Amino acid sequence: MNDILKFPFYAKLTLVLLGLIAITFIFYISQNILVPVMMSLLFAILLYPIVNFLKAKIRLPHVVAVMIAVLLFVLVFVGLFVVLSYQISDFTNDFDKIEKNISIHLHNIQGFIHDNFNLSTREQKKYIDSATEDSVQKGKELIGTTLMSFTDTLMNLTLIPIYTFLILLYRTHFLLFLSKLFKKENHEKLKDILTNIRVAINSYIVGLIIEMILVSAMTTVGFMLIGVKYAILLGLVTGILNLIPYIGILVAGVLSILASLTGTPDLSIIIGVIAITVVVQLIDNNIIVPMIVSSKVEINAFISIIGIIIGGAIAGVSGMFLALPILAILKVIFDRIESLEPWGYLMGDHLPKTYTWRKIKLPLFDSETVPDKNIIKADVVVPVFTETTTEKNPNSTT
């Protein structure tokens, strides 16, 4: 019998909500396992073109090509870590200056409060002591949490290259596994989904890397111009933290302000740091992101912020970083499954990005015009599922 059970809307909604709750709970309790795997999957997608190049152009064996690609990936991160380590070691020598300059600013703030709100310095100190009376105990707990987090980070840094190597090595095996989960008549749709996920994620990650380099360079130059000490370190930190949308730049701004106190207690330096950060963000959000970072599957800002908050609540900083790639993957899937297409539309960003005013293109944020459906088009090699390998599609243009 081929009878299909049809549930009323409220029953479908209940099942969907229960499924989301179950998936979120599973991800939360197994985040230490899933987060490194998902990070490795993103890096594997990024490194796949390198592996393909080494196999096709230099004709290296598959295992050797994968090893070289992963080794290059590790060397890049080790180099970045070494540069940051040298900068941070110099920065730690100036903690006394930071503490002294912060004390000067706090004294000035207390004087301002005393003059404008008739609150004496003694009363202010009393309020501060009351608010921080448990700071010692909380500090010990924070140190313990930080050490555990550092240990987990070291473990992940070890596992991610290993997982990335294995995902690239067994890529064909995993593709064949996916093909066996679906009927043959659905293989075309499966190939379309997998191809477009690879294109979208690769575009997103490459765009992020370019954005990180440009933001780091602009921030470093700006801080050098206003005379901020450790401009290179702060520029690199700002570029890296900017990878976390919306939230990372706020953290980077606070760190830059604190670090600017290593040189002088002058308030003008702090104002300059804030101005440089704002200008760089305006350039980043209005020029770099639309031209370079914007993925071929676009997620609207509302869904992006919610996804980042949920990712942070589940898996911390790693969850924030993974939020947008996961949303992009979900949108690719939703757009190609008829029953889920409304959810893909909800996640999408269909507002026109610019309008022309006197031959000048400006950002547009208030249009109700609905453009054509956003479909990824890419001339890439589409895998053909067989029992032994994944071969190039004979109908492909590449």
Instruction: Identify the CA nearest to 378 among candidates 249, 190, 217, 198.
Output: 198
pLDDT recorded at residue 139: 45
Taking CA atoms, 360 is separated from 190, 354, 357, 371, in Å, by 42, 10, 5, 21
Torsion region of 316: left, alpha or beta (phi above 0 gives left; psi -120 to 50 gives alpha): left
User: pLDDT: is 345 or 266 the higher one?
Assistant: 345
Can you give the residue range of the structural domain that contains 47? 30-130+137-392
Most confident of the following: 158-167, 263-272, 310-319 = 158-167
Q: Establish if 12 belongs to a structural domain.
A: no
**What is the mean predicted confidence (pLDDT) over 188-205?**
86
- Which value, to the nearest 10 degrees, does the dihedral of the CA atoms of residues 26, 31, 33, 38 take? 100
Q: Is residue 20 domain-resident?
A: no
Tally of domains within the chain: 1
Q: Which residues contact 365 (CB under 8 A, 6 or more apart)?
A: 351
Instruction: Decide: 293 and 10 in contact? Cβ < 8 Å.
Output: no
pLDDT tens-digit readout, 97-144:
666 666 666 666 767 676 666 666 666 666 666 655 554 455 445 444
Assign 83 a pLDDT band (cuts: 50, 70, 90).
confident
The whole-angstrom separation of Cα 332 and Cα 309 is 21
For tokens 């610019």, the residue is 354
- Picking from 221, 217, 237, 216, the residue whose alpha carbon sits closest to that of residue 91 is 237
Of residues 110 and 72, more confidence is placed in 72
Q: Which residues contact 264 (CB under 8 A, 6 or more apart)?
A: 101
The model's confidence at residue 368, banded by pLDDT at 50, 70 and 90, is: very low
Task: Return the pLDDT at 68.
Answer: 94
Residue 95 is predicted with a pLDDT of: 65
Question: What does the CA dihedral 140, 145, 150, 153 come to, rounded to 10 degrees?
Answer: -170
Compute CA distances 280 → 360, 364, 365, whole Å: 21, 20, 20
Pick the more confident residue, 55 or 382. Answer: 55
Around Cβ 49, how many Cβ atoms within 10 Å? 14
**pLDDT reported for residue 101:** 64
- Structural domain contains residue 15: no
| pLDDT given at position 104 | 67
- Region 244-255: mean pLDDT is 75
Buried b (16+ CB within 10 A) or exposed e, 73-101: beeeeeeeeeebeebeeebeebeeebeeb
pLDDT of res. 298: 73
- The answer to whether position 277 is within a domain reads yes
Question: Above 80 in pLDDT, residue 221?
Answer: yes
Q: Is the pLDDT of residue 36 over 70?
A: yes
32 versus 264: the higher-pLDDT residue is 32
Q: pLDDT-based confidence at 23, cuts 50/70/90?
A: confident
| Residue 391: strand pairing partners | 384
194 has which bridge partners? none
Would you give the DSSP letter of residue 76?
Answer: H
CB of 69 within 8 A of CB of 168? yes
Quote the pLDDT of residue 165.
94
pLDDT above 50: residue 380: no
Query: Is 18 domain-assigned?
Result: no
Question: For residue 372, what pLDDT is reported?
Answer: 46
- Residue 397 resides in a domain: no
- Residue 263: pLDDT band (50, 70, 90) is low
Contacts of 167 (CB under 8 A, 6+ apart): 40, 41, 44, 174
**pLDDT for res 130:** 63
Which pLDDT belongs to residue 10?
Answer: 75
* Backbone Cα Rg of the chain: 25
Strand partners, 385: 390
Of the given ranges (64-78, 203-217, 279-293), which has the lowest mean pLDDT?
279-293
CA dihedral 321, 322, 328, 333 (to 10 degrees): 180
Q: Which H or E run includes 390?
A: strand 390-392
What are the helix (H) ranges across 226-300? 231-241, 248-260, 267-283
What pTM was estimated for this model as a whole? Answer: 0.70
Q: Decide if 351 contacts 166 (C-beta within 8 A).
A: no
Dist CA 102 CA 111 (whole Å): 14
Confidence band for 358, pLDDT divided at 50, 70 and 90: low
Cβ contact 344:267 at 8 Å: no
Residue type, 345: Y
Give residue 9's pLDDT band: very low, low, confident or very high (50, 70, 90). Answer: confident
Q: 41, 167 in Cβ contact below 8 A?
A: yes
User: What's the whole-number mean pLDDT along residues 240-264?
Assistant: 74
Hey, which residues does 356 pair with through a beta bridge? 361
Do residues 322 and 35 make contact, with C-beta atoms less than 8 angstroms apart?
yes
| Residue 398 pLDDT | 42
Question: Sorting pLDDT into bands at 50, 70 and 90, what band is 64?
Answer: very high
Tell me the two tokens of residue 134: 């448990």
- Summarize pLDDT for 37-53 with one digit per residue, the tens: 999 999 999 899 999 99
Residue 321 in this model has a pLDDT that exceeds 70: yes
Confidence band of 367 (pLDDT split at 50, 70, 90): very low
Task: Indicate whether 226 belongs to any domain.
Answer: yes
State residue 151's pLDDT score: 59
- What DSSP string runs through 30-41? THHHHHHHHHHH
Residue 23 lies in a domain: no
